[in-house]
Chains A and B, each alone.
Chain A
Amino acid sequence: DTGVSQDPRHKITKRGQNVTFRCDPISEHNRLYWYRQTLGQGPEFLTYFQNEAQLEKSRLLSDRFSAERPKGSFSTLEIQRTEQGDSAMYLCASSPGGAGKNIQYFGAGTRLSVL
């Protein structure tokens, strides 16, 4: 049983560029979540999917951010026209259905640095 996988682990980009991150959840987990974590803070919820449906988006998710989960398996998070304030760790998590449906299992994250 492999865990949540995120790619890339690190991304350095110049301000104004677009970046895309990928998350592969634990197989058979139908819920997938994106969080952002800045230094010295806890993760902040961004959005979550149940299968391919995006059910909730935080107000933190500006128009420059878009997330997709087209086939209900992997997900992508795209940031357009990156800003220095977007520098953070982006965490993905997944959870199963049933009794354990709200226990979220996290990946190692993608660390974004915007220069």
Chain B
Amino acid sequence: AQKVTQAQTEISVVEKEDVTLDCVYETRDTTYYLFWYKQPPSGELVFLIRRNSFDEQNEISGRYSWNFQKSTSSFNFTITASQVVDSAVYFCALSGYSGGYQKVTFGTGTKLQVIP
């Protein structure tokens, strides 16, 4: 069984602050992929990043960075210098070998509100 936990239901920050969204996962698979998606008010889920379980290197893309720590089963997402356009619901997700890497399990999401 797979499980993704996003303990933060809602976060509010003032524009230009940094914010970290937490994600903890559980899986019995030894190989798996982790994802982050953004869901703005329009509703369409937007793919942000995919990491595989063999690659623990942190990644930075512009104002976004991701910290993958296998030892703590966490895959946290940091937005630096937040902007109002970052306001959305962010989902962490997991797909494992046992599901052919096709069946994706999503967390319940973290709603981020960036206040101008």
Contact = CB atoms under 8 A, between A and B. Distances in A.
Interface stretch (B43-51, B62-70, B76-84): B43-51
Contacts of B47: 103-106
B25 interface: no
Contacts of A48: 102-103
A42 interface: yes
Interface residues of B, number: 25
A111 to B, nearest CB: 8
Contacts of A16: none
Interface in B90-116: 91, 93, 95, 99-109
A43 B46 CA distance: 13
Given A103-B50, A109-B43, A45 B105 contact: yes
26 contacts: A3-B44, A33-B104, A40-B109, A42-B91, A42-B106, A44-B106, A45-B103, A45-B104, A48-B102, A56-B99, A56-B103, A89-B43, A93-B45, A102-B33, A102-B95, A102-B104, A103-B35, A103-B47, A104-B47, A104-B104, A105-B47, A106-B37, A106-B44, A106-B45, A107-B44, A109-B44
Interface of A: 3, 31, 33, 40-45, 48, 55-56, 89, 91, 93, 95, 101-109, 111
